[in-house]
Structure 1
Amino acid sequence: MKLFTFVFTSLFLLPAIAQTEVPIDSLGKLNLTYVNAAPSQSVQKAVSTGIVAPFPGSQLHLMAPMTPQQVQYLVADGTAVSKGQRLAMLKGSEVHHFTENLKAKTALLKISQKRFNANKPLFEANAISQSSWFSITQAYYDAKLAWGHLDHFAEMFESDEDDDIGYLLAPEAGLFLYANGEKDAEATRLGSIISNNSLRIKTMVSADEASLISSIETANCQVQVARTDAIVNEYLASVWSEPLPKSCNLKLGQRAQVSGHFQLKALKIPAQSVFYLNGQSSVFVRSGNVLNVVSVEVVGQSGADALLIKATPQLNNQPVLSSSVSAVQGVLIGLGEME
């Protein structure tokens, strides 16, 4: 019973803050200065860690129509390479089999093509049957497809004096990535090439703000946003930047702290103008000879000394107290009067 009486009495001793204005006359000789809340169309705030990654679908996969017994890479994973540069040494009987298969398919293509060209005028003159021409045509195109399947890889293959050795060549300039052992029934991936303009920053932002972000900023550069993924993962959405300029000085796979620029109507005020009342961010706004308490929502930071708050008609271009804020707050909650 005594405990209940103590708690009940203590509740009535706590200051009840119902007052939301302070007469300027009650502030004595306090130095009061004001700033007008300035409109801002962009809010910058930290979002997450960003990672440098290839833009989805931008990798050129280097597929071989055989599986070498050994792939000895000649450059480090992620190395910048030039077109035609040797990327790996391929070893094994499968390499020899590929070169022999290519020679056989090339010879068959020449024979079937010669036969096709010789019989085409005869078919057009109705000198041979349609079924015979169909068989000739089918043999020619089958040989052409079989040769083309091998020839595509032959364009990035260099043979060696040793029939069991060959070299994988870069089909274009970019960053070379090792393969992860991917293979299917007809081909084996030996690596991938990523062009320099495929490197982007990927970061995560709140799904509610995903449509508002316009650019991503690192310590060295600011890059426009290229795409925001529509899939939401635990309230977050992935955001991809435009290609990274060299000034960003970031490498593939590197992580960096990033901030985002959001297209959001806000007001810029000094950081010292904001105080907390009953757990709510607030400012004093002058109206005649009175300072009114106005609740605000802080949405970001502008530099080291300014905050961005959500724009409201009540605050737009209004004089906001920027000095002696703590002293005025003390008067508001009844801690004393100023002389």
Structure 2
Amino acid sequence: MSLLLVKEIPKILSCKYALFYLCFIVLFQMSSAFAFEKSQVVELSSLGAFELKFSTVKKANLMVGQNLIGEVSYKPGENYAVVLPFDVQKVIYHAENGRYVNQGETIASVEGFDVHHYIDAFESAKKILEISASHFETNKQYFDNKTLKTAQWLEITKNYYDAKLNLEHFEHQMSFVRISKDNKISLISPKKGILKTPNFQHIKSKGDLVFDVINLKSIKVKITTPLLYNGGISHFVVSPTCQLKLTSIENIADKYHQILWASPTSEHCNLTLGQSVKVTPILSFDGYEIPKAAIFEFNEQNYIAIKLENNVSLVAINIIAANNNAYYATSKENIVNKQVLISSVSILQGKLLKLGAE
């Protein structure tokens, strides 16, 4: 026999042993699966004298998600901002930050060199418009009679409308500026809502923010949620007396999360602007609520045992989520209101394992 043939014999034997081992594994798994198929229905008497208790499988349209943290806030741009109409040296607040204020209520008073200049400018704007309006009406007759050059009329018209716009600008500021008889200036709330004063200290220059007013309807809870909750949230629970309804979803994700906005459904929430609150998402769900004690694992699949007179039928389930006492699960079979085994489940599991090993 040649040396080459001798070397090939161990390789052939090795391949034969591998094929034999593979066939043995396949036959073992087939016998295990066949044994389990025969045990889809198990007699209760085969479980011996152990106590057997059953519970009702409930239909679940909602399920409780993991707690999240929300922030009581408002959407950008929904605040009504009041800014300084001129430079000041001092701002004195007369209303507490976060308090509900009414329209026209005094929020702050201001002091500084430009206070009197602002008052003089306001009075001058009124007089200039009065003069410009009179000049406009007088010369309009000459223009209509074609005794006034077009260039002159355009200049008169421009001056009139510039004066008018300038006074309208002052009058707009009067919606949040109040001038007293002794020429002191206060800033008032142009709207009703929650007062929010800025955190920074240097509020002295024209255009600086003095305060915001946020309408109560604009106050919502900003919640960062996992993307897997997308489209599945029914509402949120803050407390037994406070629920939040979903109002909007920001469709820009931050990696695995996105921002939702929710608003209270009643006046019992007592939310405070800037507050952090724990919220429980309630998710829409089409499945079942099954006691934890009823579920067991076999062949890497979760099962429950449904009572059928003197037998139990094994039903495969898929666990989706859990609460303290039950699992939220789905099944290909309709098991609503069925009686499920919740005691001696480990005995049943052991019997199935024994059958699978035979």
Say if 1:116 and 1:321 are closer, same or farther in 2 by CA, change over 3 A.
farther
1:67 equivalent to 2:87? Answer yes
More strand by share: 1
**How far does residue 247 in structure 1 lie from its aligned partner after superposition?**
0.5
1:166 equivalent to 2:159? Answer no
- Paired with 2:218 and 2:352, the residues of 1 have a C-alpha distance of 57
Find the residue that maps to 1:120 and give its secondary structure.
helix
- Paired with 2:114 and 2:53, the residues of 1 have a C-alpha distance of 83
Match of 1:227 in 2: 248
- Paired with 1:107 and 1:227, the residues of 2 have a C-alpha distance of 50
Letter in 2 for 1:297: I
1:199 equivalent to 2:219? Answer yes
More helix by share: 2
Letter in 1 for 2:50: L
The 5 A counterparts of 1:1-339 are: 23-24=42-43, 25-35=45-55, 37-160=57-180, 163=183, 165-180=184-199, 187-219=207-239, 220-243=241-264, 245-275=266-296, 282-286=302-306, 289=311, 291-292=313-314, 294-301=316-323, 305-309=325-329, 311-314=330-333, 316-317=335-336, 319-333=339-353
- Paired with 1:63 and 1:55, the residues of 2 have a C-alpha distance of 20
The question of whether the paired residues in 1 share the 8 Å contact of 2:250 and 2:259 is answered with yes
- Paired with 2:322 and 2:115, the residues of 1 have a C-alpha distance of 60
**How far does residue 69 in structure 1 lie from its aligned partner after superposition?**
1.5
Query: Max radius of gyration: which structure?
Result: 2
How many percent of aligned residue pairs carry the same amino acid?
A: 25
Moved more, 134-143 or 318-327: 318-327
Find the residue that maps to 1:233 and give its secondary structure.
coil
Find the residue that maps to 2:229 and give its secondary structure.
coil
| Structure 1 unaligned spans of 5+ | 1-15, 335-339
RMSD (CA atoms): 3.1
| Structure 2 unaligned spans of 5+ | 1-28
Say if 1:99 and 1:277 are closer, same or farther in 2 by CA, change over 3 A.
farther
**How far does residue 180 in structure 1 lie from its aligned partner after superposition?**
4.6
Letter in 1 for 2:160: Y
Letter in 2 for 1:131: A
The question of whether the paired residues in 2 share the 8 Å contact of 1:47 and 1:205 is answered with no
Match of 2:16 in 1: none
Find the residue that maps to 2:348 and give its secondary structure.
helix
Say if 1:167 and 1:26 are closer, same or farther in 2 by CA, change over 3 A.
same
Q: Report Cα offsets for 1:16-36 as digits up to 9, x if no partner.
A: 998865733431233434455
- Paired with 1:183 and 1:141, the residues of 2 have a C-alpha distance of 33
Letter in 1 for 2:293: Q
Find the residue that maps to 1:49 and give its secondary structure.
strand
Say if 1:213 and 1:154 are closer, same or farther in 2 by CA, change over 3 A.
same
The question of whether the paired residues in 1 share the 8 Å contact of 2:315 and 2:333 is answered with no
Letter in 1 for 2:225: V
Find the residue that maps to 2:314 and give its secondary structure.
strand
Q: Report Cα offsets for 1:87-128 as digits up to 9, x if no partner.
A: 111111122222122112222122222222333344344342
The question of whether the paired residues in 1 share the 8 Å contact of 2:90 and 2:204 is answered with no
Q: Report Cα offsets for 1:217-236 as digits up to 9, x if no partner.
A: 11131121100111111311
- Paired with 1:327 and 1:141, the residues of 2 have a C-alpha distance of 93
**How far does residue 161 in structure 1 lie from its aligned partner after superposition?**
5.7
The question of whether the paired residues in 2 share the 8 Å contact of 1:64 and 1:153 is answered with no
- Paired with 1:281 and 1:150, the residues of 2 have a C-alpha distance of 75
- Paired with 2:153 and 2:203, the residues of 1 have a C-alpha distance of 38
**How far does residue 167 in structure 1 lie from its aligned partner after superposition?**
1.0
Moved more, 216-225 or 120-129: 120-129
**How far does residue 84 in structure 1 lie from its aligned partner after superposition?**
1.3
Letter in 1 for 2:100: A
